[in-house]
A = this chain, B = another copy of it.
């Protein structure tokens, strides 16, 4: 049993989001708190821009929650940069406890699950869970310098430039989407070692966690209006649907992948978006709005992460992956 239940139903009372110009040309453009006109955000390096975006999203979620910074007990954050420097440096700006986490692109949900646990158990009242990513800092850390102008293979995805934060609280004094349970994933490795094919590597982890969640909770897949994955992309989404179909679970009608919907379909982004910022931006802007308006009543938010590094790939290792899930319901 990997699923834990939150009887006090911690609420997502507000969110904060920011995204780059390419991202804002898509569906999230209307919903983010700040749409950037360039990807440097007034900073001198990509890494500093990434950190500033994360800091912005955190501060905005606190502002949108209508509370003061001093009311925040804890910040739970992580990102894709080595030693999660975006998060650690962003945390300098906030005078509260900081828990650094690493779950690659599953970080948003890992943070939400931890926040819900601390709040449900009465250990904290207000926690911000946040993450982000930046296309250019990810490219130069994980792949090639942008200046090389490398071509991208058709199975590749595009790292989202953006950040998202969820303000999770013990009370909202009103109706807010609540985190009712969480399924903390296990590491799944199907032996895929193509670092350009993250969707295929991560899909088995997504299938594993979604399946365990449904079995643990004795719920049919259609209990949820929406089963939202993080950044499997177009190919990975097909794979997760197939893997679950083989196990007798049909998510054809209620599955949406943030990576698939983040970019304007007119752009040729191959498999779609990826990066920790992908589902952080999509969930905390567009999806959160649908939840708040009651258009979505019950969602399972299952974000995957590929737990590789350039060193592990260089040493011939395959790609271990993980998927964490939280159930978010209007109760």
Considering only residues 1-28 of chain A, those with a C-beta below 8 Å from chain B are 2, 4
Considering only residues 92-126 of chain A, those with a C-beta below 8 Å from chain B are 92, 94-104, 110, 114, 117-118, 120-124
Known: A74-B184, A312-B47. A84 touches B102 (CB 8 A): yes
Known: A2-B97, A47-B315, A97-B184. A104 touches B83 (CB 8 A): yes
Instruction: Judge if A45 is at the interface, Cβ distance under 8 Å.
Output: yes
Considering only residues 182-205 of chain A, those with a C-beta below 8 Å from chain B are 184-187, 189
Instruction: Judge if A254 is at the interface, Cβ distance under 8 Å.
Output: no
Shortest Cβ distance from A141 into B: residue:
B311
Q: Which of B99, B185, B307 contacts A83 (CB 8 A)?
A: B307
Instruction: Judge if A297 is at the interface, Cβ distance under 8 Å.
Output: no
Instruction: Judge if A317 is at the interface, Cβ distance under 8 Å.
Output: yes
Instruction: Judge if A89 is at the interface, Cβ distance under 8 Å.
Output: yes
**Copies per complex of this chain:** 2
Known: A47-B311, A309-B83. A110 touches B100 (CB 8 A): yes
Q: Is the CB of B186 within 8 A of A307?
A: no
Shortest Cβ distance from A321 into B: residue:
B88
Instruction: Judge if A48 is at the interface, Cβ distance under 8 Å.
Output: yes
Instruction: Judge if A81 is at the interface, Cβ distance under 8 Å.
Output: yes
Q: How far is the CA of A97 from the CA of B122 in the complex (A)?
A: 22
Q: Is the CB of B98 within 8 A of A101?
A: no
Instruction: Judge if A166 is at the interface, Cβ distance under 8 Å.
Output: no
Chain B residues contacting A309 (CB-CB under 8 Å) are 81-83, 85
Considering only residues 65-85 of chain A, those with a C-beta below 8 Å from chain B are 73-74, 78, 80-85
Instruction: Judge if A322 is at the interface, Cβ distance under 8 Å.
Output: yes
Chain B residues contacting A92 (CB-CB under 8 Å) are 187, 189, 320
Chain B residues contacting A234 (CB-CB under 8 Å) are none
* Closest beta carbon of chain B to A170's beta carbon, Å: 13
Q: How far is the CA of A250 from the CA of B132 in the complex (A)?
A: 42
Instruction: Judge if A308 is at the interface, Cβ distance under 8 Å.
Output: yes
Q: How far is the CA of A89 from the CA of B306 in the complex (A)?
A: 11
Q: Which of B101, B186, B189 contacts A95 (CB 8 A)?
A: B186
Instruction: Judge if A151 is at the interface, Cβ distance under 8 Å.
Output: no
Chain B residues contacting A91 (CB-CB under 8 Å) are 186-187, 320
Q: How far is the CA of A61 from the CA of B45 in the complex (A)?
A: 44
Q: How far is the CA of A78 from the CA of B4 in the complex (A)?
A: 22
Q: How far is the CA of A170 from the CA of B141 in the complex (A)?
A: 41
A-B contact pairs, 15 of them (CB 8 A): A4-B124, A47-B312, A80-B83, A83-B102, A83-B309, A85-B309, A88-B187, A89-B312, A95-B186, A97-B185, A98-B185, A99-B101, A99-B184, A117-B117, A117-B118
Partner-B contacts on A (CB < 8 A): 2, 4, 45, 47-48, 73-74, 78, 80-85, 88-89, 91-92, 94-104, 110, 114, 117-118, 120-124, 141, 184-187, 189, 307-312, 315, 317, 320, 322
